[in-house]
């Protein structure tokens, strides 16, 4: 399952939020790549994606392993790690990433405080640079807005060399979701669309109007 894509997983520890945003020339990328749990961390699994990296990685983070230790543990146990790409941010905001030697060019990653940005089958390294630099340059903005901005900047820098098809945004925070009874603050997916980033931005605005900006009753 080749999930050619670019993504960034990140956290805002002050807001107690962790999240992932992703775009790909792949159907329903939001069903595979993004994983996150409040006070635990966020994970993006892609390229020839191993979907077990999500739940297994969160379980390791829950045990207290660092992002770097989780990346090492997951990839060392995987005979097909050369085909995988992985990004992890832990509860403390530490980040780590992995790009296997068999991932198709351009493929690579950047990490920094609170984020891991990665992509494969990209036009160039500028796509991942745009993810990282946009996140670094928007400190103080709400995490969901920052992540969407990262995605849009990455697409403007070249994006996936095969084009666009789907996108997703996942942000979690303790009891920050619906009615204060869910940890899922934002979970929006565009599964198949000619312009998935524009559509994701549109429904994100609706989400904000309904669940963030609207006065409580």
pLDDT at position 44 is 98
180 or 130: whose pLDDT is higher? 130
pLDDT at position 195 is 96
CA atoms within 13 A of residue 81's CA, in its CB half-sphere: 13
Chain segment 8-38, per-residue pLDDT in tens:
999 999 999 999 999 999 999 999 999 999 9
Phi, psi for 94 (deg, rounded to 5):
-75, 145
Dihedral (CA of 44, 7, 17, 115) sign:
positive
Distance CA 125, CA 59 (A): 31
Average pLDDT, the chain: 95
pLDDT at position 212 is 85
Chain segment 68-89, per-residue pLDDT in tens:
999 999 999 999 999 999 999 9
pLDDT at position 3 is 60
pLDDT at position 215 is 46
Banded pLDDT at 2 (limits 50, 70, 90): low
Chain segment 120-163, per-residue pLDDT in tens:
999 999 999 999 999 999 999 999 999 999 999 999 999 888 88
Per the CB < 8 A criterion, the answer to whether 50 and 80 are in contact is: yes
Domains in the chain with CATH codes: 2-213 (3.60.20.10)
């Amino acid at each position: 399952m080749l999930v050619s894509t670019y993504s960034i997983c990140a956290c805002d520890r002050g807001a107690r939020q962790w999240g992932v945003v992703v775009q790909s020339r792949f159907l329903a990328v939001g069903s595979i790549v993004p994983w996150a749990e409040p006070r635990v961390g966020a994970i993006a699994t892609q390229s020839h994606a191993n979907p077990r990296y999500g739940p297994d990685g969160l379980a390791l983070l829950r045990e207290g392993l660092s992002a770097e230790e989780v990346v090492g543990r997951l990839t060392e146990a995987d005979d097909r790690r050369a085909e995988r790409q992985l990004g992890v941010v832990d509860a403390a905001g530490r980040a780590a990433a992995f790009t296997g030697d068999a991932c198709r060019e351009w493929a690579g990653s950047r990490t920094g405080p609170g984020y891991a940005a990665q992509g494969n089958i990209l036009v160039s390294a500028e796509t991942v640079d745009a993810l990282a630099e946009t996140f670094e340059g928007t400190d103080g903005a709400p995490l969901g807005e920052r992540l969407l901005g990262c995605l849009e900047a990455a697409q403007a820098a070249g994006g996936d060399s095969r084009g666009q098809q789907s996108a997703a945004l996942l942000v979690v925070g303790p009891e920050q979701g619906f009615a204060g009874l869910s940890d899922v603050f934002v979970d929006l997916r565009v599964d198949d669309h000619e312009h998935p980033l524009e559509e994701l931005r549109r429904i994100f605005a609706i989400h904000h109007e309904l669940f963030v900006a609207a006065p409580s009753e």
